[in-house]
Amino acid sequence: MKGDYQDLVDEISALLGAPATLENRDFRLIAFGAHDSDSDSGELTLDPVRTRSILTRQSTAAVRAWFEGFGIARATGPVRIPAAPDAGVFRGRICLPVRSRGIVQGYVWLLDQEPGKPGPDPAALAAAMEVAQRIGVLLAEEAKAGADLSREFQAVLTAGRGWQQDMAVAALRAALGPGGDGLHAAVCVAPWPGETPASVPGAAAVCVVPLRGGGGGEPGDEAAAGPAGGLALAVLLRLRSTDALAPALTAVARLLPRAAEPAAAAAAAGSAAGAGTAGSRGSAGTAGSRTGAGTAGSRGGVGAAGSRTAAAAGASTGTGSAGPTGPQRMTAGVADPVRGLAELPAAWEQAMAAARAAAAEPRFGPVAQWAQIGPYRLLASLACDPVDDPAARTLLTPAHRELARTAEVFLDCAGQAGRAAAALGIHRQTLYYRLGRVEQLTGLDLDAGEDRLLLHMALKASRLA
C-alpha cells in the first residue's frame, strides 16, 4: 500500500508542479515527492520543518500545534498557511486535507509560491483535491485494518492460557494473512501514556495492554500488574530475517525520548552484550581475597568478564542498590525473534522482562534485548511483588544504600576484593569493613556460596520493584 501512496503523491506533485509530502493525522510522514533544486538559486526548496519531517519521518508537537491553529483538521478544501521564519517555516504552505466520510485521515503538504508569484491554478488544485480524497479512502481502509489487527493482537496477549489463547492466535494469524507465520519480534514499551500510535515503522500490529511486573497471574489479569502498574505498548515487528532486527530497534527507539536513539543503535550492534555475573562464580577464591592475603580469587577474573567488570559495576549501581529513586523512565524490551504466532505469548513475556531490566539497569540502555539481560532473564520472571527477604530487608533501606551498593559491586566482581575496591574507588580495608557491616545487618556469611547467591539475587531483584 505504501507504493500506492507514493504514486498518488507523485500525481499531486505533477498536477501542481511542486513537490508534495503526505503525512497521517498524527503528522507522521508516509510519502514524499522528489525535491529538485530551485532553478535560480540552486538551493533545495526545503526549510528546517520540512527537512526534519523527511529525515525523522515526524514533526514536533510545536510544529503540529502551529499548523493545526489554521484549522486544517476541520477544513474541506485547500488551506494556505503563511511563512513563519521564527518557527523554522521559511516558506508558506498549501495544505490539502485528506478526508474520508468527513473524517480527516491526513494531510498533503506543498510549499507555496514565494510572495509576488502566482499560486497554483484553481483547476489543478481541484484535481489535486480529488487525488487527496482517493488517498483518504486508502488511509481509512488501512486504519480499519490496523484497528482489527490491534484488537486481535491484544487478544493474544491478554487471553487466558489454553483454548482461549489458541483461538486468539488463530484469529491474529487470519488477520495478518500470508505473513502471519513469518518471522516476528515482540516489543514492550513501558510505561506508556495510553494512546495507541497510528503507526510504527516495520510493525505488523500494535496495541496497548496492562503492564505486569513479572511472572504470576494470567496475561490479562490486571491484579497481577507489577508495582509500577500502568500500561505498556506492545509492538509486533515483522522481520525479513534475524539480521533485520537492528533497523527494527532503531524504529523502536523513535517511540522513546530522543536520548534512547544512540543507545538503541548500540544495542542493535551488540555493544550492550553481557550482563551482571551471578554470585556463585568465584566463591572459592573469596576467603583468600577478603582476609588480607593480597590476591584476587583465582576463579572470578578470567575471560572478558574480568575486563569489563569495573565499568559494568559502576554503571549497574548508578541509581543505588536500594532501587530507583526517581520517576520510572520509559524503556523498551525486545524478545528473541520467533517464527509462528503460537510462540508469541512467551515472546511477550521476554519483551516485558527486558523492558523491566532496562528500567532497572541503565547499562542495558533504554532499549534492551532479552538475550542480553543476563540474570534478569530469571529475576524478571519471578513473582512481581517487591523483594522483602528478611535477610536483605534492613540492608535495602535508604539508610544503608552505600552498604548495599558496596555488597552488589563486590558480588558483581565475583568476590574479588581488589577489583571491587577499584570499582568503588575505596581502600581495600574500607571494603572489608563495609562487608563486615553487611554481614552483621543481613546475618549472611559472604564466604558461603548460597548466602552470596541469595544476597546477589535480592539486590538485583530490588531494582525490579
Phi, psi of 211 (to 5 degrees): -85, 125
Phi, psi of 447 (to 5 degrees): -90, -5
- Neighbouring C-beta atoms of residue 240, cutoff 10 Å: 10
Query: Tell me, what's the pLDDT at 309?
Result: 35
**What are the pLDDT digits (tens) for 408-463?**
899 989 999 999 999 999 999 999 999 999 999 999 999 998 888 888 888 888 87
Nearest CA to 19 out of 5, 9, 6 is that of: 9
Sign, Cα dihedral of 363, 367, 373, 376: positive
Residue 194 has pLDDT above 90, yes or no: no
Is the separation of the CB atoms in 334 and 185 below 8 Å? Answer: yes
Query: Tell me, what's the pLDDT at 84?
Result: 76
Report which listed range, 3-17, 249-263, 321-335, 378-392, is most confident: 3-17
What secondary structure does DSSP assign to 158-209, as a single string? HSPTTHHHHHHHHHHHHHHGGGGGSEEEEEEEEEE-SPPPS--TTEEEEEEE
Q: Which long-range contacts (CB under 8 A, 24 or more apart) does 96-103 make?
A: 96/12, 96/125, 96/128, 96/129, 96/132, 97/72, 97/73, 97/132, 98/22, 98/132, 98/133, 98/135, 98/136, 98/139, 99/132, 99/133, 99/136, 100/133, 100/136, 100/137, 100/139, 100/140, 101/140, 103/140
Residue 300 has pLDDT above 60, yes or no: no
pLDDT band for position 323 (cuts 50, 70, 90): very low
Cα atoms found within 13 Å of the Cα of residue 38, Cβ hemisphere only:
11
**What are the pLDDT digits (tens) for 204-241?**
888 999 876 443 334 334 333 333 458 999 999 888 87
Q: What Å distances lie between residue 324 and 224, 252, 438, CA to CA?
A: 21, 24, 21
User: What are the structural domains, with CATH classification, of the chain?
Assistant: 2-141 (3.30.450.40)
Residue 42 has pLDDT above 50, yes or no: no
Tell me the average pLDDT of the chain. Answer: 74
Distance separating alpha carbons of residues 344 and 184, to the nearest angstrom: 9
Distance separating alpha carbons of residues 183 and 240, to the nearest angstrom: 7
Nearest CA to 465 out of 399, 379, 391, 347 is that of: 379
- Cα 258 to its chain centre, rounded Å, is 11
pLDDT band for position 52 (cuts 50, 70, 90): low
Residue 272 has pLDDT above 80, yes or no: no
**What are the pLDDT digits (tens) for 121-169?**
889 999 999 999 999 988 887 776 656 788 888 888 988 778 788 888 8
pLDDT band for position 61 (cuts 50, 70, 90): confident
Nearest CA to 420 out of 312, 318, 324, 320 is that of: 312
Distance separating alpha carbons of residues 331 and 48, to the nearest angstrom: 29
Range list of β-strands (E), 223-316? 231-239
Does pTM top 0.75 for this prediction? no
Report which listed range, 8-22, 59-73, 200-214, is most confident: 8-22
The single residue listed with the C-alpha cell 530487608 is 393
Residue type, 309: T
- Who wins on pLDDT, 264 or 256? 256
To which H or E segment does residue 155 belong?
A: helix 122-158
Q: What is the mean pLDDT of the segment spanning 262-283?
A: 39
Distance separating alpha carbons of residues 146 and 42, to the nearest angstrom: 42
Terminal-residue alpha carbon distance, the chain: 44
Query: Tell me, what's the pLDDT at 364?
Result: 87
Distance separating alpha carbons of residues 184 and 428, to the nearest angstrom: 49
Distance separating alpha carbons of residues 422 and 231, to the nearest angstrom: 41
Residue type, 243: D
Distance separating alpha carbons of residues 30 and 201, to the nearest angstrom: 10
**What are the pLDDT digits (tens) for 345-394?**
999 999 998 998 888 888 888 899 999 888 888 887 665 555 678 888 88
